[in-house]
Structure 1
């Protein structure tokens, strides 16, 4: 009789399914790895129980212990499943933007769920990561999973997700892998496997507007994060489980694109998956158009739509949030730079020296620097503008309102240095404000 000894043993071996209706004619083939078919309905089954197993082997988690973790919901469910099988208690912290379905599912497994505010900075004691750390420190016999920084997160996807995709594609016979960048574990683990066994495969991360990964990857500097609606993808802190060395490129996607593609996957492909799957496929369709026929992209469908019945799969929720209105892509932020310049000045430079540099360079703005940090933007009329954030030159113009809410200007950069400055003046001129 064929059977598994427990539900943890049933993780994996999810199918690769060709996408048809959502992929435009003349595009590359897109194959979807249906991770929502794992036991708890998400790709987090790949690393959650794996980390628990490694912690047990290392003596970090002992019988009767408590598993503590910060989660957007999926990792919590996977850990809760493992805890139920193995007899552990578990406590999870969750930002308040996450769906009620996720909260209820974790509690159904017997987990204690602590809800924290979403719109707080990464260093706030109220941030869900810092709350989980505090609970772990205060709880006897606790093991803090630390998925955002744990090497075991990457290892779980290397040994499981990466290996499976390699085997299902006849030894890595495809062109591009695209996955969401939350903790970074999926992209990093699959990326490491492919770089080792199928080095011609290009690895592309998908990041939502508001997350830090895209601009950090492109500029090497941590940008200001802001709130977005799609769940289970992106992050507002730098994650050590995000190994940029195996990532070839990253693509930005917004909430509107994510949710509309997610709904299309359900209604046109019959794939009952979540909004982050929509993010990844929406980005993959753009890449597939550019690549053309004869190429193949493998994507992950990260979690099940059962978690989002009351959110993006609800017409009322979509209407209330304004996602049924028109949608215009505004282009890259570098289009707003009136005069490109890599010139900067020391924050200790005299006013006369700064004005001379601006006159000689015919510049309206000049970034001021103290060491590796940018402190302000000098203007022709002697003002000092505050910097709301740093954006990669090809980042989306849609990010500008969030930057301007935190300062007077955006500093536009690449890894080679400064490209220019954008203020409310240039932004309003572009959108007709």
Structure 2
């Protein structure tokens, strides 16, 4: 029996898609990140019951932090993107969260900069608030130890290729870190949107992309770049096509980042020798993407005809889908 709904909702499901292909499916993945971080702050004395925690969110983290605050008796203030929809807004309101949404922006960079700027203003007026800094503070890795433990128990012995959105780095990076500590051979494949500075695609714009949670137009300081073996940059059209095919072929209704990860996983699985288990992350359900994405499902591409452009330099990045060995790109950028 669970002590709080957050403990129940956070539990992931490992779903076998094929013999060597698994989906790590969450209702909302960042609850692990929020619960682990908040528990650490309370245990260390950095915050106490009744304090107010504040952060920026495009949606998923807002719900996660709200539930973590509810679980531990803390107040919550969210500066949200315009992607926070009515369903989530109503939930946050009932949970007692203070929600501010910034004005609509023409691009992801401006949206994120406006949110961070507003947080600075709030902290100046309320210095007792604790900024969670989900994009920068490595305490957000801690909660993913539990996910790694689940995978270590349930994924068959042998190598694991973990594929998922990079985002703040805490999810794919955290899971991989703790799996490696457990002695597992892990290859990490990160998924990025075009326009994200995290892995150098800020010069390639994709105005249709609405999965802000997997990339960034500002620097995310808690991304450990050295953890990633390969990166896939995927545009909206390809992410949608992957998500539609994932639902059609497996019944898994998940968000656009899951569609992009599914597409990347199938390609990685085809190009490598057998003997590994491929695990892709479905970080959230598809409900908030129904109108903005899934309603366009008749225009989705056949994923069998999609393939990435393999690059050796970030100057070669191009839509709709590019991929590279990240260590090779890093070495080229250093001139070694």
TM-score band, normalised by shorter chain? 0.7 to 0.9
Match of 1:107 among 75, 88, 93: 93
Pick aligned residue for 2:190 from 181, 187, 205: 205
More helix by proportion, 1 or 2? Answer: 2
> CA separation in 2, counterparts of 1:107 and 1:129?
21
Post-superposition shift, 1:194? 2.7
The residue that corresponds to 2:35 in the other structure is 49
Provide TM-score, normalisation by structure 1.
0.66
Bigger Rg, structure 1 or 2? 1
Within a 5 Å distance, the mapping from 1:90-105 to structure 2 comes to 90-105=76-91
Equivalent residue number for residue 3 of structure 2: 5
- Residue correspondences, number: 324
How far 1:59 sits from its partner (Å)? 2.4
Indicate the residue corresponding to 1:184 in structure 2: 169
1:34 maps onto 2:19 in alignment? no
Distance 1:49 1:330 in 2: 36
Larger RCO of the pair (alpha carbons < 8 Å, separation 6+): 2
Residue number in structure 1 paired with 2:326: none
Question: Any unmatched runs of 5+ in structure 2?
Answer: 323-328
Where does the alignment leave 5 or more consecutive residues of structure 1 unmatched?
A: 21-27, 37-41, 217-222, 335-390, 401-412, 420-433
Cα distance, 1:113 vs. partner?
A: 1.9
Query: 1: CA distance between counterparts of 2:74 and 2:93?
Result: 14
> Matched residues in 1 for 2:215 and 2:86: separation?
20
Q: Equivalent residue of 1:273, what SS?
A: coil
Q: Normalising by structure 2, report the TM-score.
A: 0.84
| Equivalent position to 1:310, from 291, 305, 316 | 291
Matched, 1:235 2:243: no
Shift of 1:127: 2.2
Q: 2:232 is paired with a residue of what secondary structure? A: strand
- CA distance in structure 1 between the partners assigned to 2:29 and 2:250 by the alignment: 19
| 8 Å CA contact 2:307, 2:321 repeated in 1 | no
Taking only aligned residues, the RMSD between alpha carbons, in angstroms, comes to 3.1
Is 1:141 the counterpart of 2:128 in the alignment? Answer: yes
CA shift for structure 1 position 167: 1.7
The 2-side partners of 1:32 and 1:82 are apart by 25
Residues of 2 paired with 1:329 and 1:15: CA distance?
A: 28
| Aligned match for 2:317, one of 377, 392, 395 | 395
Q: Are the aligned partners of 1:95 and 1:118 in contact in 2 as well (CA < 8 Å)? A: no
Kindly indicate whether residue 271 of structure 2 is the aligned counterpart of residue 290 of structure 1. yes
